[in-house]
A and B are shown apart, each in its own frame.
Chain A
Amino acid sequence: MEIKDSYELPLSKERVWAALNDEEFLKNSIPWCEKLERRSETELAAEVKLKIGPMSTRFTGSITLSDIDPPNGYTITGSGKGGIAGAASGSAKVKLVEDKDTSSTILSYEVSAQVKGKIAQLGSRLIQSTAKKLSKNFFGSFVKQLEDMDKP
Chain B
Amino acid sequence: MSEGIGASVQRKEDKKFLTGKGRYTDDINRAGQVYAHFVRSDIAHANIKSINTKVAAEASGVVAVYTGEDIDVGGPICGWVVPNRDGSATHEPPHPLLAKGKVRFVGDAVAVVIAESLQEAKSASELVEVDYDELPAVVNLETASSGAEIHEGMAENRYFDWELGDEEATDNALNSASRVVKLTVRNNRLVPNPMEPRSALAEYDELNDSYTLYTTSQSPHLTRLVLAAFMFQIPESKIRVVAPDVGGGFGAKIYVYVEEAVCTWASKKIKRPIKWTADRTQAFLTDAHGRDHINNIQLALDSNNKITGLRVDTLANLGGYLSAFAVAVPTYLHGTLLSGLYDIPAIYTNVKGYATTTTPVDAYRGAGRPEATYLLERVMDQAAREVGMDQAEFRRLNFIPKDAFPYQTAVALQYDIGDYEPALDKAMEMIDYKNFENRRSEASKRGKYRGIGVSSYIEACGIAPSAVAGALGGRVGGWESASVRVDPTGTITVTTGAHSHGQGHATTFAQIVTERLGVPNSSVELVHGDSDRSPFGMGTYGSRSLAVGGVAISKAIDKIVEKSKKIAAHLMEASADDVEFKDGKFTVAGTDKETAFGDVALAAYVPHNYPLETLEPGLEETAFYDPMNFTYPAGTHIAEVEVDPATGVVEIVDWAACDDFGNLINPMIVEGQVHGGIAQGIGQALLENAHYDENGQLLTASYMDYCMPRADDLPSFKVGYTNTPCTHNDLGVKGCGEAGAIASPPALINAIINALSPLGVTDMSMPATPQKVWKAIQDSQSVAAE
Contact = CB atoms under 8 A, between A and B. Distances in A.
Give the interface centre of A115, A116, A121 by most chain B CB atoms within 10 Å.
A121
Given A83-B126, A84-B126, A116-B697, A121 B43 contact: no
Interface in B670-719: 693, 695, 697-702, 704-705
Interface residues of A, number: 14
Contacts of B700: 124
A124 B705 contact: yes
Nearest to A1: B693
Contacts of A87: 42
A39 interface: no
Contacts of B705: 124-125
B281 A86 contact: no
Contacts of B42: 86-87, 116-118
A115 B697 contact: yes
A134 interface: no
Contacts of A121: 106, 281, 284-285, 697-699, 701-702
Interface string B325-356: 00000000000000000000000000000000
A45 interface: no
Interface in A101-140: 114-118, 120-122, 124-125
A87 B705 CA distance: 20
A121 B701 CA distance: 5
Contacts of A118: 42, 281
B620 to A, nearest CB: 51
In this complex, the interface size class of chain B, counting residues with CB under 8 Å from chain A, is 10 to 19
Nearest to A127: B699
Contacts of B281: 118, 121-122
Interface string A6-29: 000000000000000000000000
Interface string A67-111: 000000000000000011011000000000000000000000000
Contacts of B285: 121
B126 A120 contact: no
A120 B698 contact: yes
A83 B106 CA distance: 15
A87 B700 CA distance: 17
Contacts of A114: 695
A79 B704 CA distance: 26
Contacts of A115: 697
A118 B700 CA distance: 11
Contacts, number: 40
Contact of B704 (A84, A86, A117, A122): A122
Given A84-B126, A125-B704, A125-B705, A120 B693 contact: yes
Contacts of B697: 115-117, 120-121
A16 B404 CA distance: 83
A147 to B, nearest CB: 37
Interface in B113-137: 126
B548 to A, nearest CB: 39
A117 B43 CA distance: 7
A122 B703 CA distance: 9
A84 B38 CA distance: 12
Nearest to B41: A117
B53 to A, nearest CB: 16
Nearest to A83: B126
A19 B160 CA distance: 56
A87 B699 CA distance: 14
Contacts of A120: 693, 697-699, 701
Nearest to A82: B42
A120 B695 CA distance: 11
A137 to B, nearest CB: 23
A81 to B, nearest CB: 9
Given A121-B284, A121-B701, A116 B126 contact: no
A130 to B, nearest CB: 14
A118 B285 CA distance: 11
A122 B281 CA distance: 8
A56 B520 CA distance: 61
Interface of B: 42-43, 106, 126, 281, 284-285, 693, 695, 697-702, 704-705
Given A121-B698, A125-B704, 16 more contacts: A83-B126, A84-B126, A115-B697, A116-B42, A116-B697, A117-B106, A117-B697, A118-B42, A120-B693, A120-B698, A121-B281, A121-B284, A121-B701, A122-B281, A124-B704, A124-B705
Give the 10 A-B CB pairs with smallest separation, nearest first.
A117-B42, A121-B701, A120-B697, A124-B699, A116-B42, A86-B42, A122-B702, A84-B126, A124-B705, A83-B126
25 contacts: A83-B126, A84-B126, A87-B42, A114-B695, A116-B106, A116-B697, A117-B42, A117-B106, A117-B697, A118-B42, A118-B281, A120-B693, A120-B699, A120-B701, A121-B106, A121-B284, A121-B285, A121-B698, A121-B699, A121-B701, A122-B701, A122-B702, A124-B704, A124-B705, A125-B705
